[in-house]
């Protein structure tokens, strides 16, 4: 299946991470093609020690392609995803274009790997903050169903793309030099500041990022009854998202049970040292594959013993995007 692999959006922050993840995991392929906009076409990329020329993405790009990894934004996915599928490729799409389409499986391999089978040419990769949350939460949900989640996020610049990372760095230099700051990529100053996630705020007051966390989790858990509320915040961190997660379970659960379940959960690493005050941090989760989970404690505000608090951190570009997409592709191989 993975004979001829195409990477769409090869020059973006996630596209670059696709390349690293495919190299590191020794992903099996016969041929690889890097596709991007006309602006990037003709430039060279090195993959496993070999130079590749970036091709311009056109409607004819997918002839003979078996697997297409898309990360070039929703409009590119909407235009070219169905064309790639029609040409016979299986598309793993990192945009939000098809996530809530009933015909498109939305998959995190640690949560619902069996859903890939139902694909009709396109499989959607969830939103980064959703992935980072559901990997540890689903491990618990399988044992004792989660009834309600209250989540607050601490989201990195990378979630808004490579240029947002550049902006965080440049603004930080400017602030430290006493120079004025003019936001260009993100709507507000990100250096030494934080603000509501830069997605559109809907009529119910939730931003799109928050509603993704609600809807995508319900779809992957095959459970529309789970109650979720989220507050998504952009913070001056480069590439790892963190989240404070308050859980209410169906039945009482102890923090020791939670620690035991999470210690055995795939894709999760428990980092929970109360004596050393060492817990998940973006500095440690960045560039790694695991979702770090700590601050595991019984929620003292739920005296019936059904509440648990967690704090998690995961690399937005890896498990939040490229790694999860490649893991989906590995399920297909």
Partners of 240 in the beta sheet? 315
The region of 33-41, 54-62, 89-97, 306-314 touching its own copies under the rule CB under 8 A is: 306-314
Binding to its own copies (CB under 8 A): which residues in 218-237?
Answer: 227-229, 231, 233, 235-237
* Helical ranges in 55-207 per DSSP H: 74-86, 128-141, 162-176
- For its own copies, the closer of residues 61 and 217 by Cβ is 217
Residue 299: CA count within 13 A, CB half-sphere: 21
Instruction: Tell me how far, at minimum, the Cβ of 159 lies from its own copies, in Å.
Output: 15
Under rule CB under 8 A, residue 189 binds its own copies = yes
Packing angle, helices 128-141 and 208-221, rounded to 10: 40
User: Which x/- pattern, by CB under 8 A, does the window 249-278 give for its own copies?
Assistant: ------x------------------xx-x-
Region of 10-18, 34-42, 125-133, 206-214 interacting with its own copies (CB under 8 A)? 206-214
For residue 188, state whether it binds its own copies (rule: CB under 8 A).
Answer: yes
For residue 97, give the nearest of 115, 120, 79 by alpha carbon.
79
Kindly tell me which of 8 and 232 has the beta carbon lying closer to its own copies. 232
Taking the C-alpha atoms of residue 113 and residue 92, their distance in angstroms, rounded to an integer, is 13
* Backbone dihedral angles phi then psi of residue 211, each to the nearest 5 degrees: -70, -30
Phi, then psi, of 206 in degrees rounded to 5 = -90, 140
Residue reference for tokens 């404070």: 244
Is 281 a binding residue for its own copies by CB under 8 A? The answer is yes
Residue 315 binding its own copies, by CB under 8 A: no
Distance CA 10, CA 165 (A): 17
Q: Is 303 in the site for its own copies (CB under 8 A)?
A: yes
Is 214 a binding residue for its own copies by CB under 8 A? The answer is: yes
Instruction: Show the site string, 119-148: x = touches its own copies by CB under 8 A, - = not.
Output: -----------------------------x
Q: Is 194 in the site for its own copies (CB under 8 A)?
A: yes
Considering CB under 8 A, how many residues would be counted as binding its own copies? 59
Closest CB to its own copies among 50 and 277? Answer: 277
* 155 binds its own copies, rule: CB under 8 A: no
Q: How far apart are CA 292 and CA 311, in angstroms?
A: 8
With CA atoms as reference, report the closest residue to 36 among 69, 1, 63. Answer: 69
Give yes or no for residue 182 binding its own copies (CB under 8 A): no
317 binds its own copies (CB under 8 A): no
The DSSP string of 13-62 is HHHHHHHHHHHHTT---SEEEEEE-TTTTT-EEEETTEEEEPEEP-TTTT
Catalytic residues: 128, 241
The set of residues, in sequence order, having a beta carbon less than 8 Å from that of 163 and lying 6+ positions away, is 184, 185
Residue numbers of the site for its own copies (CB under 8 A)?
148-150, 152, 154, 168-169, 172-173, 176, 187-189, 192-196, 198, 200-201, 204-207, 214, 227-229, 231, 233, 235-238, 242, 244, 246, 255, 274-275, 277, 279, 281-283, 294-303, 307, 309, 311
């Amino acid at each position: 299946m993975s004979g001829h692999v195409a990477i769409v959006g090869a020059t973006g922050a996630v596209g670059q991470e696709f390349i690293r993840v495919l190299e590191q995991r020794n992903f099996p392929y016969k041929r690889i093609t890097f596709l991007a906009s006309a602006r990037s076409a003709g430039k060279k990329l090195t993959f496993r020690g070999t130079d590749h020329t970036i091709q311009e993405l056109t409607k004819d790009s997918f002839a003979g392609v078996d697997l297409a990894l898309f990360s070039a934004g929703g409009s590119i996915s909407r235009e070219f995803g169905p064309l790639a599928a029609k040409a016979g490729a299986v598309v793993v799409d990192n945009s939000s274009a098809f996530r809530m389409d009933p015909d498109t499986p939305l998959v995190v391999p640690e949560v619902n790997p069996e859903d890939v089978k139902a694909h009709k040419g396109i499989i959607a990769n969830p939103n980064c903050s959703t992935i980072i949350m559901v990997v540890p939460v689903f491990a618990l949900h399988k044992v004792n169903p989660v009834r309600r989640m209250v989540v607050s996020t601490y989201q990195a610049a990378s979630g808004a793309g490579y240029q947002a990372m550049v902006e965080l760095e440049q603004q930080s230099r400017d602030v430290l030099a006493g120079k004025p700051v003019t936001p260009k990529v993100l709507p507000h100053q990100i250096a030494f500041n934080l603000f509501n996630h830069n997605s559109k705020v809907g009529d119910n007051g939730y931003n799109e990022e928050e509603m993704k966390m609600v809807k995508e989790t319900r779809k992957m858990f095959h459970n529309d009854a789970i109650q979720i509320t989220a507050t998504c915040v952009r913070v001056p961190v480069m590439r790892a998202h963190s989240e404070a997660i308050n859980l209410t379970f169906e039945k009482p659960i102890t923090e020791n049970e939670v620690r035991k379940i999470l210690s055995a959960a795939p894709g999760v690493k428990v980092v929970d040292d109360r004596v050393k005050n060492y817990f998940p941090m973006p500095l440690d989760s960045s560039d790694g594959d695991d979702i770090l989970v700590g601050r595991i404690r019984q929620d003292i505000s739920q005296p019936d013993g059904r509440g648990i608090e967690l704090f998690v951190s995961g690399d937005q570009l890896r498990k939040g995007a490229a790694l999860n997409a490649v893991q989906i592709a590995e399920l297909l191989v």
